[in-house]
């Protein structure tokens, strides 16, 4: 039984003060089902959120990490720094990082491997195709190739600890949601790819989220699909009531 997992991605929004206001409103969350929940926030807000959620089941995640433990990498944040704060998750390879910060599958793979080898922070690995790729009908092969590159060199005993977020780039922040069938079909393709790379026990246990304009009004139809195990939520995770509405789909 895969326990659904819904994570918010605050991107570059909020301050420590407004994150604390959100946490006050959100920490009394009463989920209507067994579910895992996390907020992935900017670095400066992480310590405040870990403190605010310390007596709850709500997890806290970062949105990026460098693949080296330390070094001359001005402006970067390392795994030991995140561990010191006590975060539970880290988004890796979000399409905005791939597009605006030239993050390659090679770098994404190094980051995922590093997190899995350490084992204290769960990677939320984002994959997904652009509109151009979908219009060319090449979305399945594109995402399969991302999975192959991002999981390169990762052993079967570790692979199942990755959370995969399927996020079609054309549906992120655009208000255009993939239809439940489009989203489910790609999550199934990803699960089959994981089975081909590893085995059925990994593919049946791995958590695959959908992300792209998920909101309270559409979360039920998306999250009740067979191969979708949760959501990565951007805009609609910024307001506690909206995020609670998505969680209690
Ligand atoms: C995201 O940032 O991962 C995302 C899915 O954003 P939105 O929900 O706003 O489309």
Interval 23-64: pLDDT, tens = 999 999 999 999 999 999 999 999 999 999 999 999 999 999
In the annotation, is 148 catalytic?
no
Q: How far apart are CA 15 and CA 187, in angstroms?
A: 34
Q: Residue 167: CB within 6 Å of ligand 1? A: yes
Indicate the pLDDT class of residue 181, thresholds 50, 70 and 90.
Answer: very high
User: Who has greater pLDDT, 93 or 1?
Assistant: 93
Which ligand 1 atom minimizes the distance to the CA of 126?
3
Question: Does the pTM exceed 0.95?
Answer: yes
Total structural domains within the chain: 1
Q: Residue 213: CB within 6 Å of ligand 1? A: yes
How far apart are the CA of 235 and the centre of ligand 1, in A? 6
Whether residue 219 is predicted with pLDDT greater than 90 in this model: the reply is yes
Q: Residue 231: CB within 6 Å of ligand 1? A: no
Domain range for 200: 5-247
CATH number (domain holding residue 70): 3.20.20.70
Indicate the pLDDT class of residue 173, thresholds 50, 70 and 90.
Answer: confident
In the annotation, is 66 catalytic?
no
CB 216 within 8 A of CB 242: yes
Residue of 103, 129, 139, 167 marked active site? 167
Which residue carries 């895969």 as its tokens? 2
Q: How far apart are CA 88 and CA 54, in angstroms?
A: 12
Whether residue 176 is predicted with pLDDT greater than 90 in this model: the reply is no
CB 194 within 8 A of CB 206: yes
Q: pLDDT by residue (tens digit) across 132-151?
A: 999 999 999 999 999 999 99
């Amino acid at each position: 039984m895969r326990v659904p997992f819904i994570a918010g991605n605050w991107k570059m929004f909020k301050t420590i003060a407004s994150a604390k206001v959100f946490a006050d409103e959100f920490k009394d969350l009463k989920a209507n089902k067994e579910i895992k929940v996390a907020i992935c926030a900017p670095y400066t807000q992480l310590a405040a959120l870990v403190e605010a959620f310390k007596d709850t089941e709500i997890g806290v995640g970062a949105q990026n990490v460098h693949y080296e433990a330390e070094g001359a990498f001005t402006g970067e944040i390392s795994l030991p720094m995140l561990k010191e704060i006590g975060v539970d998750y880290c988004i890796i390879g979000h399409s905005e990082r791939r597009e605006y910060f030239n993050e390659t599958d090679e770098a994404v793979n190094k980051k995922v491997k590093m997190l899995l080898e350490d084992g204290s922070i769960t990677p939320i690995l984002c994959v997904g195709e652009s509109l151009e790729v979908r219009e060319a009908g090449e979305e399945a092969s594109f995402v399969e190739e991302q999975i192959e590159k991002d999981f390169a060199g990762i052993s079967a005993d570790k692979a199942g600890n990755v959370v995969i977020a399927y996020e079609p780039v054309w549906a992120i922040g655009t208000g255009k949601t993939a239809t439940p069938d489009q989203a489910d079909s790609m999550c199934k393709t990803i699960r089959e790819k994981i089975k081909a790379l590893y085995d059925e026990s990994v593919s049946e246990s791995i958590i695959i989220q959908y992300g792209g304009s998920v909101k309270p009004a559409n979360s039920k139809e998306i999250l009740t699909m067979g191969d979708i195990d949760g959501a990565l939520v951007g805009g609609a995770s910024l307001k506690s009531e909206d995020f609670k509405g998505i969680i209690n789909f």
